[in-house]
């Protein structure tokens, strides 16, 4: 008897969901924006509601209250560690815009972060221009990182005249003198930070952001030269932040501890030079447990947010006390941990590919010997002989191919042989499941038999980090979790690219190459790809001209109900054509002239001409994804 707990365990949803996701008793994916079991949104109900409103799939769901939950959790964790270790200063966050620049997301982060004096971190001129529009808390910082030309510096220095807590971080030595010169010319004294290059590295996929050969940061020599230059310009009192960043998604807590200790020592030595550094900025890196394993695997982190805060606070305090320097304000630029959970993509499944194995095979009686053998195998296989029969079938398939290559059998016979082979495999796999046979042989067999579920989405647009670096994201059915999934599958997208396939899935022990899913019946089948809120929104690309998905922003009410805060329309065909520099009016004009010409040559009637043009205009305004 399959129970809902079996589905919760199979998909690991309560291991990686951080309390925000589960399946309800109806077998539907439920979202708990406030982590309360009693206040849960049945996502299938929302999906059906949007479907009835003719909102097309794929749909990206955002749950702004999850952003609030994560901001509270991070600030709460630091506040707890600070009191536990009697640390003599406070913690402040600064959300790094690169992680999700979307206006609606930023607005929520700024709103919820205000009472924690959460600031923003930007890395480019465009991000700074956007960040300047937000009203931050009194003590919140606006931190300018990244490579900076004079235009960037000028924009930041002008902003200093309006915002008293803007920090310009020197990420690269050559910025030092340019910044100081411009400050002098403009008569502005900004708060300044320096990013140091540590020997310590992070761990996981982004480990190379740290260490000696990191792209950003000053070496010890450069840092000392930088300080001398500040003294030369009589600007030493403006040097108030020490910053480092050893990479995103640090999977091992000891790496964080090591980096904090190394940077704390640098901080203490600079303080001992009578330089009044106030802020100790530990950058990003706080990991997210995408696979729920709580290990140092690339898709996980072997620590909690509380352990992260404890390690940072304790290690920093330890070094400061040993060196006899005051405790600085701790600042982190945590982005992934705040935003990853808040969005998920629901895709509808268009169908599956199964290699025609359900075809009924009838024998005439004069088939070649190899076909008869496969046919007999398919009839005689049973729970006692299935291992032997499966191995025989593998040999038969080899022979089938050789005979075909030698010209001894026809296409029709090759097709019959292939179908029979798959039918034997299917039966063998069922017997292996029944007997609990988990040998490698049968793992391969499940892969061979897995179906390709065709999902209405683009990997390139919606889960770019899976496509680019095989970062794992959880995938679960939106409904039917109360039914045992009986099929293995991968999920192919609708781009014309074989890379557009999700064929790696989160698992407690190892990465899975196939996922347990339900047989498609005649109804619709939806899958959710979760934890997409960090980096995916703007790294996604327009391959094949599939654009941004429709969005629904959902709020949980205190009464237990929910409402749609906002629907944001995804890209239409005319939008994506605009991104690649087509002028849709010119496209229409040239199409119209072709239609007129065809009409003139009597290839089409006047009525047909009108219909063709109207259809073209309608297509321009349609959603880029399949209408199904």
Judged by the rule CB under 6 A, the positions of this chain that interact with ligand PLP are: 96, 99, 121, 145, 245, 248-249, 283-286, 333-336, 534
Residue least distant from ligand PLP (Cβ): 284
Q: Which is nearer to ligand PLP, 284 or 464 (CB)?
A: 284
Q: How many CA atoms lie within 13 A of 137 on its CB side?
A: 17
Q: Which is nearer to ligand PLP, 64 or 285 (CB)?
A: 285
**Residue whose tokens read 């600007």:** 235
Minimum distance between the CB of residue 335 and ligand PLP, rounded to whole angstroms? Answer: 3
Minimum distance between the CB of residue 165 and ligand PLP, rounded to whole angstroms? Answer: 17
Alpha helices per DSSP H over 498-572: 536-539
Minimum distance between the CB of residue 297 and ligand PLP, rounded to whole angstroms? Answer: 16
Burial class (CB in 10 A: 0-12, 13-18, 19+), 411: exposed
Q: Which is nearer to ligand PLP, 403 or 534 (CB)?
A: 534
- Coil, strand or helix: which one is 544? helix
Burial class (CB in 10 A: 0-12, 13-18, 19+), 330: buried
Q: Which is nearer to ligand PLP, 69 or 335 (CB)?
A: 335
Q: Which is nearer to ligand PLP, 247 or 570 (CB)?
A: 247
Burial class (CB in 10 A: 0-12, 13-18, 19+), 26: middle
Beta-carbon count within 10 A of 488 CB: 19
As a whole number of angstroms, the distance between CA 259 and CA 211 comes to: 10
Longest distance between any two alpha carbons in the chain, whole Å? 99
Q: Which is nearer to ligand PLP, 47 or 331 (CB)?
A: 331
Minimum distance between the CB of residue 534 and ligand PLP, rounded to whole angstroms? Answer: 6
Residues in the chain: 628
As a whole number of angstroms, the distance between CA 139 and CA 156 comes to: 18
Q: Which is nearer to ligand PLP, 183 or 248 (CB)?
A: 248
Minimum distance between the CB of residue 336 and ligand PLP, rounded to whole angstroms? Answer: 3
Minimum distance between the CB of residue 338 and ligand PLP, rounded to whole angstroms? Answer: 8
Sign (positive or negative) of CA dihedral 353, 571, 66, 43:
negative
Please, which residues have CB within 8 angstroms of residue 354's CB and are 6 or more apart in sequence? 451
Please, which residues have CB within 8 angstroms of residue 61's CB and are 6 or more apart in sequence? 31, 43, 46, 343, 344, 345, 346, 551, 552, 553, 554
Q: Which is nearer to ligand PLP, 145 or 490 (CB)?
A: 145
Minimum distance between the CB of residue 107 and ligand PLP, rounded to whole angstroms? Answer: 19
As a whole number of angstroms, the distance between CA 436 and CA 383 comes to: 12
Minimum distance between the CB of residue 466 and ligand PLP, rounded to whole angstroms? Answer: 17
Q: Which is nearer to ligand PLP, 286 or 429 (CB)?
A: 286
Minimum distance between the CB of residue 417 and ligand PLP, rounded to whole angstroms? Answer: 53
526-544 as b/e: b if 16+ CB within 10 A? bbbbbbbbbbbbeebebbb
């Amino acid at each position: 008897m399959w129970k809902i707990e079996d589905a919760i365990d199979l998909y690991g949803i309560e291991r990686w969901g951080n309390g925000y996701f589960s399946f309800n008793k109806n077998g539907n994916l439920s979202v708990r924006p406030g982590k309360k079991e009693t206040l849960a949104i049945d996502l299938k109900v929302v999906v059906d509601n949007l479907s009835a409103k003719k909102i097309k799939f794929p749909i990206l769901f955002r749950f702004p209250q999850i952003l609030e939950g994560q901001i509270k959790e991070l600030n709460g964790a630091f506040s707890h560690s600070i009191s536990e270790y009697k640390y003599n200063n406070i913690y402040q966050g600064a959300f790094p815009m690169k992680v999700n620049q979307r206006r609606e997301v930023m607005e929520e982060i700024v709103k919820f972060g205000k009472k924690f004096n959460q600031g923003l971190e930007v890395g480019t001129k465009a991000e700074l221009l956007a960040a300047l529009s937000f009203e931050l808390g009194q003590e919140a910082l606006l931190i300018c990182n990244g490579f900076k030309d004079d235009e960037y510096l000028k924009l930041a220095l002008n902003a200093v005249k309006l915002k008293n807590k803007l920090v310009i971080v020197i990420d690269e030595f050559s910025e030092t003198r340019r910044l100081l010169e411009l400050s002098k010319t403009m008569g502005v004294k900004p708060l300044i930070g320096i990013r140091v290059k540590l020997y310590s590295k992070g761990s996981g996929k982004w480990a190379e952001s740290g260490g000696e050969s990191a792209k950003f940061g000053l070496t010890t020599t450069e840092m000392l030269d930088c300080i001398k230059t500040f003294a030369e310009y009589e600007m030493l009192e403006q040097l108030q932040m020490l910053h480092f960043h050893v990479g995103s998604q640090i999977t091992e807590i000891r790496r964080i501890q090591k980096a904090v200790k190394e940077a704390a020592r640098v901080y203490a030595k600079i303080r001992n030079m009578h330089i009044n550094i106030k802020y100790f900025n530990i950058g990003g890196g706080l990991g997210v447990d995408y696979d729920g394993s709580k290990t140092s695997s690339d898709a996980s982190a072997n620590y909690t947010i509380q352990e992260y805060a404890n390690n940072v606070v304790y290690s920093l305090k330890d070094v400061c006390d040993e060196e006899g320097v005051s405790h600085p304000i701790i600042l982190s630029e945590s982005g992934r941990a705040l935003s990853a959970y808040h969005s998920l993509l629901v895709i509808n499944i268009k169908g599956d590919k199964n290699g025609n194995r359900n075809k009924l095979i009838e024998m005439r009686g004069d088939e070649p010997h190899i076909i008869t053998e496969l046919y007999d195998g398919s009839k005689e296989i049973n729970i006692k002989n299935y291992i032997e029969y499966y191995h025989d079938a593998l040999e038969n398939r080899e022979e089938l191919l050789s005979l075909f290559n030698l010209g001894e059998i026809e296409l029709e016979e090759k097709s019959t042989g292939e179908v029979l082979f798959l039918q034997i495999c299917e039966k063998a796999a069922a017997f292996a499941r029944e007997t609990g046979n988990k040998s490698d042989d049968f793992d391969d067999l499940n892969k061979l038999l897995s179906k390709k579920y065709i999902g209405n989405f683009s990997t390139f647009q919606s889960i770019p980090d899976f496509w680019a670096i095989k970062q794992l994201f959880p995938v679960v059915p939106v409904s039917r979790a109360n039914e045992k999934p009986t099929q293995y599958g991968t999920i192919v997208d609708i781009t014309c690219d074989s890379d557009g396939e999700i064929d790696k899935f989160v698992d407690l022990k190892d990465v899975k190459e196939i996922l347990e899913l339900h047989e498609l019946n005649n109804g619709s089948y939806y899958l959710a790809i979760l934890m997409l809120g960090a980096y995916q929104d703007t790294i996604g690309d327009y391959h094949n001209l599939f654009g941004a998905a429709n969005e629904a922003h959902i709020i949980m009410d205190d009464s237990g109900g929910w409402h749609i805060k906002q629907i944001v329309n995804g890209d239409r065909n005319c939008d994506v054509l605009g991104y690649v520099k087509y002028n849709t009016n010119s496209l229409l004009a040239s199409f119209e002239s072709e239609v007129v010409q065809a009409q003139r040559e009597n290839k089409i009637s006047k009525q047909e001409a009108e219909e063709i043009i109207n259809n073209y205009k309608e297509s321009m305004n349609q959603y880029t994804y399949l209408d199904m």
